[in-house]
Chains A and B, each alone.
Chain A
Amino acid sequence: MYVSVNVPGFIKKIVQRILSTWNGVQSFYFYVVSIIKSFKSIRYLRFRSLYSIVVNQTRFTGIDALPLLMIIALMLGGTVIIQAHTNFPKFGIESFIGNLLVIIIARELGPLATAMIVVSRSGSAIAAEIATQTQNREILSLELMGIDTKLYIILPRIIASIIAIFSLIIIFDIVAFFGGYLLSISTVYIPIGVFIQTLLDAFSFNDLFLTILKSLIYGILIPLIACYYGLKPRSNFEIPIYVSQAVVRTLLVIFVINAFISALFYF
């Protein structure tokens, strides 16, 4: 026996939204599980076939993003120093400037800004590339050749992404530090040796470990989510929809994870 209940429209919409999100999470979970399972066939994989993909993806994700990344790093480093000079007393600034840069740039802004640059440049490109390849039946053709597409497409992109993000974070930090330093010497003189020493003192092994951890997590998640949405379109007109979703969802996940890591290690 069924009882008919009048459910208000907005509650129905909320329930539908929750169900759709839950289905999405489930679908992503199965996708990740299928990738993990496909690692069983890694012993049949010749890494030389992935080599050129890794090199090209690293070049695209890392080297080609360098000019943009360096400009953003310089600006951010400068902004932090300007704010510090405006809002903190100048006396004794040389002793805490290293800590300030390490806390703001190395711990938080560096990895986050790098991830955002990689998502907007490479995440979208990966999603669009995979979606186009799916529509052109290139993915099917790889499957028909006996190539495990999960390993062949996703694994090299993850490797390249980890390498690129790790290098980009380090370069971002260095450029931001020295951008900040160059700006700071216009108001407060700090010998370069003192500056480097305070940076070294402030930057701990814990920070180094977190930089590596973040580059690992972002390096895995960005291509993983991008490929997931890249494999979704069933027709050409769906490609931009899923590419946009890939970028937005990846950014959301990265912000959540960044907050989670900060809370876990620094709170």
Chain B
Amino acid sequence: MVKLEKNEVRVAVFILFPVLILLVFVVLKLGYSFASSTKDIYLKVDSISSIKNGTQVKVKGYTIGRVVEIIPVYQPALHFLAVMRVENEIAMYEDCTAVIQNQNIIGDTIIELRNPETKQELLKEYAVIEGIEYVNLEALLQDVHVMLATVTSTVGVLRDISLDSRSNIRVLLGNLSRSVETVSTVLNDSQKDIIEIMRSFRKTAKTMDEISTELKRHPLKFLMKGDK
């Protein structure tokens, strides 16, 4: 038996470790899978209200696997990865879509995988698919009902608003005609006063003429008149 020294053992491990890694790489690259007949695929979803452990995964209605684990992911925003363990034998392509939907009105949620129309590279293990969530029928009807109620109440509010507005306009028009009447009265009253003011202006002008004539004739007398 060959006896190896400590150095030789260390060097042997140092050489064999990378060689082993490379061998595993080559084997994996050549497409050999160490796993059995199933592979794990991740489904990325925003909420897990509709899927749970055991949710069936189907293709064209045929069950090919189930959700086996749901992993919460905190970054960059909270979302979830559902691990779907599916059969290897059904060929799924890279651009396939995953639709989360109800089986029927009262049935459970299922994940329906749909292949693209053209053939592509096969979906690899641990690939991530974005989940598209279909809202279920009951929730849809409820939403429609809520929407109709909201529309009805909105129409009522609009009618109330229009009724209230009509009386307010009438009051407003009355007030407006009264304001016009007041303004015409003020104008009529002002006319007499204006004539009187004009007459007074004329009188004042006449007086001023007289003063100026007197001032021309006897300026000193006029000036001294006041002192006496």
Residues of A within 8 A of B (CB): 55-56, 58-59, 62-63, 66, 90-91, 94-95, 163-164, 166-167, 170-171, 174, 187-189, 191, 193-194, 196-197, 200-201, 203, 205, 208
Minimal beta-carbon separation of B121 from chain A (angstroms): 10
| B22 near A208: Cβ-Cβ < 8 Å | yes
What class of interface size applies to chain B in its complex with A? 20 to 34
Minimal beta-carbon separation of A87 from chain B (angstroms): 16
The answer, among A59, A187, A201, for a CB contact under 8 Å with B11, is A59
Task: Give the contacts of B1-46 with A (CB-CB under 8 A).
Answer: 7-8, 10-11, 14-15, 17-18, 21-22, 25-26, 28-29, 40, 42
Chain B residues near A66 (CB-CB < 8 A): 14
Residues of B within 8 A of A (CB): 7-8, 10-11, 14-15, 17-18, 21-22, 25-26, 28-29, 40, 42, 71, 73-76, 81, 124-128
Decide: A56 near B29, CB < 8 A? Known: A194-B128, A197-B125, A201-B124.
Answer: no
| A167 near B18: Cβ-Cβ < 8 Å | yes
The answer, among A90, A164, A193, for a CB contact under 8 Å with B40, is A193
The answer, among A90, A191, A208, for a CB contact under 8 Å with B126, is A191
Chain B residues near A164 (CB-CB < 8 A): 14
| B126 near A193: Cβ-Cβ < 8 Å | yes
| A62 near B11: Cβ-Cβ < 8 Å | yes
Q: How far is the CA of A164 from the CA of B125 in the complex (A)?
A: 34
| A170 near B21: Cβ-Cβ < 8 Å | yes
Decide: A163 near B15, CB < 8 A? Known: A94-B128, A188-B76, A193-B40.
Answer: yes
| A194 near B42: Cβ-Cβ < 8 Å | yes
| A58 near B11: Cβ-Cβ < 8 Å | yes
Decide: A59 near B7, CB < 8 A? Known: A170-B21, A200-B25, A208-B25.
Answer: yes
| B18 near A203: Cβ-Cβ < 8 Å | no
Q: How far is the CA of A13 from the CA of B21 in the complex (A)?
A: 53
Q: How far is the CA of A193 from the CA of B71 in the complex (A)?
A: 13
The answer, among B7, B14, B26, B71, for a CB contact under 8 Å with A191, is B71
Minimal beta-carbon separation of A62 from chain B (angstroms): 5
| B11 near A90: Cβ-Cβ < 8 Å | no
